[in-house]
Structure 1
Amino acid sequence: MEESKSNMENTGSISGATPKVTGIGGIFFFSDNPKETREWYAKNLGLEVNEWGATFKSRDVNCPDQVNSLQWSPFKSKSEYFAPSKKEFMINYRVQNLEGLIKKLRENGVTIIDEMETYEYGKFIHIMDAEGNKIELWEPL
């Protein structure tokens, strides 16, 4: 029991857990025609797509009952969702203890673009890295 509790504290979304990235939550990129891009990937590579892209599910090695997801999404070229970044991609990182991580990022002088928002599928905030890449941080609920 202690071992599984320890694993949950290291990998789960517990507010007392070490604030850190635990995996990739999504890969977002520009496409001239997102609908055609999704259809091409479905037809040629077998992705099960919907209007947002495709979701890949996997199990957490340290907590096999936990199912993680990675969202793959083409966005219309020049989408403002990536702003203020000028890059053609954005990575969503899955994190544990988002509130603690935000505190650490502020202490380290990291540019935080917006305020944390909570939805039925998790908490989100956006930051900029040292290279000007917008990063989405996501703590699943």
Structure 2
Amino acid sequence: MSKKDIKRVTGIGGIFFKSEDPTAAKNWYKNHLGLNTDDYGCTFWWKDKEGKDASTQWSPFKKDTKYFEPSKKEFMMNFRVHNLVELLEALKEEGVTIVGEIEEYDYGKFGWILDPDGNKIELWEPIDSAFQ
């Protein structure tokens, strides 16, 4: 299989944005839009095309977070991917800027890239079953 044929993004893993007061933001979205918020924001559960449980995370971060660096933007997108290691290898060969090293947790692997506008993008190979 060529690098062009590998699975890339399989869905949106999360929407993250900076907030002056993340707690107030979570409460506003809970009270006015009905989001079931917790300390991290809100997790939306859905089924993928194979019928497996999948999730998308919505999270406000503190205004001074360093997590989005080197991007100067107020938001960061997280995309679900099938095979993070394989995808990062292909992206590196294609000249995409890779940020940091892969991090692994019981709920998946994470890697980061920059798009042409300097937006930091988080790539997540999820283990959705870790949340259940």
TM-score by length of 2: 0.90
| Unpaired runs of at least 5, structure 1 | 1-16
Q: Distance in 2 between matches of 1:113 and 1:76?
A: 21
Shift in Å, 1:18: 2.5
Q: Distance in 2 between matches of 1:55 and 1:20?
A: 22
Q: Distance in 2 between matches of 1:89 and 1:118?
A: 22
Counterpart in the other structure of 2:130: none
Bigger radius of gyration = 1
Please, which of 100, 108, 114 is the counterpart of residue 86 of structure 2? 100
Partner deviation per Cα, 1:31-65 (whole Å, 9 max, x = no partner): 100000001111111111101100001111x201x
CA-atom RMSD in angstroms: 1.1
1:127 paired to 2:113 = yes
**Is the contact between residue 19 and residue 98 of structure 1 (CA under 8 Å) also seen in structure 2?**
no
Shift in Å, 1:19: 3.2
1:136 paired to 2:105 = no
Percentage of matched positions with identical amino acids: 54
| Partner amino acid, structure 1, of 2:62 | K
**Is the contact between residue 92 and residue 137 of structure 1 (CA under 8 Å) also seen in structure 2?**
yes
Deviating above 4 A after TM superposition, structure 1's stretches of 4 or more consecutive aligned residues are none
Please, which of 63, 84, 87 is the counterpart of residue 50 of structure 2? 63
| Unpaired runs of at least 5, structure 2 | 128-132
